[in-house]
């Protein structure tokens, strides 16, 4: 039986064989692998791209102090981007499951409608949740818009829920019982995270401090976006740190989630704050598209 890390390594190797860059996780807190620049920014524009990476995804409100066998504050996603989506993309995906030892002819595998939308990123796509014997193991999305822009090329995004997949393969009831390798379980590795971050997010986070952080990151992102739009020199624009501006957006998004878990966002505030984060994301996406076009012009 495959261990957690063997499943991850096999899947990475599989996608490497399909021509994907195998990336390491992005080093900012994100709520989903989609938010990483490797997805969010790379899907913009016409340039082809293929990448696979594991992304720890933090969702403060989903924490359960390590007491719920199926819910986590932080879970691992394997994120695969195939841009453009090849014609046999569904088949490629199904074969990846067979590659980790799941005989699909003996299981009930269904692709059920599930469209994806992220208001904070101005992004949406259509697709499915992949159900394996009634368990959702993957989110499959054809991106249509990102940062409020229609995409030039439609990428396929595959997001594997690694804990669920491993629990399925290892046939264990609790995520914490997943064997990470032959010696340690998932609980050995991660339980403390779940306990401590649940406590932080629900009880300890200093609301004033987190708000202050939110405002600082928002202001920095705004400042950078304004500065970018003022630059007219092509070289200046090319080396302008939009990637750093995007980091600020991600910080804001995560801090917003923390504030929400902490119960610090009033009802009237919520929609408004979502809109503010969205504005940043849309601003970065637009600037990034502009910057890439400039790069392409210089190259031609």
Binding site for another protein (CB under 8 A): 68-70, 84-85, 87, 90-91, 94, 104-113, 115, 125-126, 128, 132-135, 142, 144, 150-154, 168, 171, 173, 263, 266-268, 270-271
Report the residue number, 91 or 236, with the smaller CB distance to another protein.
Answer: 91
Say if residue 84 is preceded by a cis peptide, omega within 30 of 0: yes
Q: How far apart are the first and last CA of the chain?
A: 52
CB of 125 to another protein, least distance (A): 8
Report the residue number, 144 or 196, with the smaller CB distance to another protein.
Answer: 144
CB of 157 to another protein, least distance (A): 13
CB of 28 to another protein, least distance (A): 28
Report the residue number, 125 or 217, with the smaller CB distance to another protein.
Answer: 125
Report the residue number, 108 or 204, with the smaller CB distance to another protein.
Answer: 108
CB of 70 to another protein, least distance (A): 5
CB of 245 to another protein, least distance (A): 25
CB of 27 to another protein, least distance (A): 32
Report the residue number, 28 or 90, with the smaller CB distance to another protein.
Answer: 90
CB of 154 to another protein, least distance (A): 5
Report the residue number, 41 or 175, with the smaller CB distance to another protein.
Answer: 175
Report the residue number, 101 or 241, with the smaller CB distance to another protein.
Answer: 101
């Amino acid at each position: 039986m495959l261990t957690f890390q063997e499943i991850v390594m096999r899947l990475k190797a599989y996608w490497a064989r399909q021509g994907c860059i195998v990336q390491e996780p992005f080093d900012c807190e994100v709520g989903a692998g989609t938010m990483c620049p490797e997805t969010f920014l790379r899907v913009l524009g016409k340039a082809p791209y293929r990448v696979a990476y594991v992304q720890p995804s933090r969702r403060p409100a989903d924490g359960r102090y390590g007491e719920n066998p199926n819910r986590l504050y932080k879970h691992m996603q394997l994120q695969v981007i195939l841009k453009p989506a090849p014609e046999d993309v569904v088949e490629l995906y199904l074969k990846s499951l067979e590659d980790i030892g799941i005989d699909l002819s003996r299981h009930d595998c269904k692709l059920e409608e599930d469209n994806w939308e992220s208001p904070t990123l101005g992004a949406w796509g259509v697709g499915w949740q992949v159900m394996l014997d009634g368990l959702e193991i993957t989110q499959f999305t054809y991106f249509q818009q990102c940062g409020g822009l229609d995409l030039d090329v439609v990428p396929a995004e595959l997001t594997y829920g690694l804990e669920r997949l491993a629990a399925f393969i290892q046939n264990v009831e609790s995520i914490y019982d997943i064997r990470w390798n032959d010696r340690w379980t998932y609980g050995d590795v991660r339980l403390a995270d779940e306990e401590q971050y649940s406590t932080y997010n629900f009880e300890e986070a200093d609301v004033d401090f987190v708000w202050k952080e939110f405002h600082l990151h928002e202001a920095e992102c705004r400042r950078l976006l304004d500065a970018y739009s003022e630059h007219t020199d092509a070289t200046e624009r090319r080396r302008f740190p939009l990637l750093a501006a995007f980091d600020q957006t991600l910080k804001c998004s995560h801090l917003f989630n923390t504030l929400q878990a902490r119960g610090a966002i009033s009802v009237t505030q919520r929609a408004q704050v979502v809109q503010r984060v969205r504005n940043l994301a849309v601003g970065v996406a637009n600037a990034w598209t502009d910057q890439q076009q400039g790069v392409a012009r210089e190259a031609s």
